[in-house]
Structure 1
Amino acid sequence: MKNPRFLKVFTPVTVMCLFFLLAIIPAGLLLPPEWGRENGPIENAQVLIIILTCIAAVTASRCDVGSTATKQLMGYSVPILIIIALRELSWGRVFYPNGTDGFLPLKALWYGKYVYPIIGITLLFILAIMVFKRLYKEIVHWAKNGRFPIVEVVILVVSLIAADFAEHRSHSILGNRQTLFEELFELTMYFSLLSLYVNLGFNKVFQPNHRDNVPNGEQASNIRLL
């Protein structure tokens, strides 16, 4: 019988993802609305989780799990994760308050004009590496033959859609808690991304090159993460 492509695996990080998802509504109703502002506790927690994801990616790129191409993909994803973290920090604007409970615009900062060109060059460099080393073939191979943790995938997609809804279509429903709910959903989304990196980077069960190494009945029980 063909092995399943999506596995229900409950690792410690998976359980934390579920906890974050279930806690969003009570947290959104109980926490102060200002916690959802720029440079607030929720946004800073997002940055911390992205940094942990970077550490997971670097570690996975150096461990013995997965093919050489998979480990290279993990490593080359780190600059993209750093860009995501910088975006959450408003490209560093949060370190330049304007004195009126806000932050200076990017164009007013000494490095502001360099931000987008550097991001563009970085992304082009990664794209060139992907083409030159043919790493895109590994992505296709993963899409065709890899396994994926279904819980994290569902939480990531649901959180992404919910965060977009909270940001653009929920003001009449959530009022001054709109931004808080948006940031809470983004926090859950980033935690599910961290969990994906842990599962895909450190667990042989999810590697395309190890598809037949674990019997069906032992797939979940043989998982040891964190």
Structure 2
Amino acid sequence: MIKVRKICVDKHIDSAGWFGVAWLLCIIPLSWILPPQISWENGILENSQVMILFVGVFMSFYFYIEDLSSQGKKLWASIGAFFVMLAGRELSWGRVLFQTKLTPSGPELIAMNQLPHSNIIQGIILLFILSVISALIYNIPWDNVITIPLPIMYLTLGLSSFILSAIGEHHWLLSPKQGQTVEELSELLAYFMIVKIVKYYAASLKNNSIC
């Protein structure tokens, strides 16, 4: 007989959750009034995203030091590498340092295939991404994680942010300038929620909070 595990949710809304709701509701209105320069490559919003992701890196390092088990250290090393991977993506894997020209729609970066030894660089990046994903799949204690109540507010805000980011990226129902701002504002909230979700599960695992 197949045993179906009970799924329970954590419906509690803390200050971070309410902040996320307010931020989500303000994304479209803000995209109407903020200057488009704020969402350019290597701009304020993108650098803010990287800062949040490095908060995740430092948080992972803290939990790595605090956890005395070898399995726990592997877990937090994997999560820290995951945040580094996301930061690398936001920085276009370093291409933000190589601006070719400035256009009315923002700076243009050098194409990856124009970098010296681009094939080697792309291979290293691909290997890094696959290694991080594999490490996460292997090191996350899934049997324990699935017993923890789902942080429904954080998950809903994170998913909504990614959906809104996709809408902005593809300019669905939005002008290109507005779409880019919506995309960056949404990603900023999404990364904040990822950090909160990781912190939530870290606290739940430590306190043995189960359904």
TM-score by length of 1: 0.76
Letter in 1 for 2:194: L
Identity of aligned residues (%): 24
**Against the structure 1 CA distance between its residues 129 and 93, is the aligned structure 2 distance closer, same or farther, given a 3 Å change threshold?**
closer
Q: Which residue of 1 is the match for residue 139 of structure 2?
A: 135
Deviations 1:70-127 (A, max 9, x none): 5532321222221211111111111111134422112222353333211232244446
Q: Select which of 53, 56, 74 maps to 1:53.
A: 56
Q: Which residue of 2 is the match for residue 188 of structure 1?
A: 189
**Preserved contact between residue 56 and residue 197 of structure 1 (Cα < 8 Å):** no
**Preserved contact between residue 5 and residue 148 of structure 1 (Cα < 8 Å):** yes
Q: Which residue of 1 is the match for residue 45 of structure 2?
A: 42
> 1:124-203 residue pairs with structure 2 within 5 A?
124-126=130-132, 135=139, 138-143=141-146, 145-170=147-172, 172-201=173-202, 203=203
Distance (whole Å) between structure 2 residues aligned to residue 125 and residue 72 of structure 1: 13
Distance (whole Å) between structure 2 residues aligned to residue 106 and residue 32 of structure 1: 28
**Which blocks of at least 5 consecutive residues in structure 2 are unaligned?**
1-5
Identify, as 1 or 2, the structure richer in strand.
2
Is 1:120 aligned to 2:126, yes or no? yes
Letter in 1 for 2:38: W
Structure 1 residue 69: deviation in Å?
Answer: 3.9
> 1:15-30 residue pairs with structure 2 within 5 A?
15-30=18-33
Higher RCO (CA < 8 A, seq sep 6+): 1
**Preserved contact between residue 60 and residue 74 of structure 1 (Cα < 8 Å):** yes
Is 1:62 aligned to 2:68, yes or no? no
Q: Which residue of 1 is the match for residue 108 of structure 2?
A: 102
**Against the structure 1 CA distance between its residues 51 and 185, is the aligned structure 2 distance closer, same or farther, given a 3 Å change threshold?**
same
Structure 1 residue 21: deviation in Å?
Answer: 1.6
Partner of 1:102, secondary structure, is strand
**Which blocks of at least 5 consecutive residues in structure 1 are unaligned?**
217-226
Across the aligned residues of Structure 1 and Structure 2, the Cα RMSD in angstroms comes to 3.0
**Against the structure 1 CA distance between its residues 41 and 157, is the aligned structure 2 distance closer, same or farther, given a 3 Å change threshold?**
same
Partner of 1:38, secondary structure, is coil
Q: Which residue of 2 is the match for residue 90 of structure 1?
A: 92
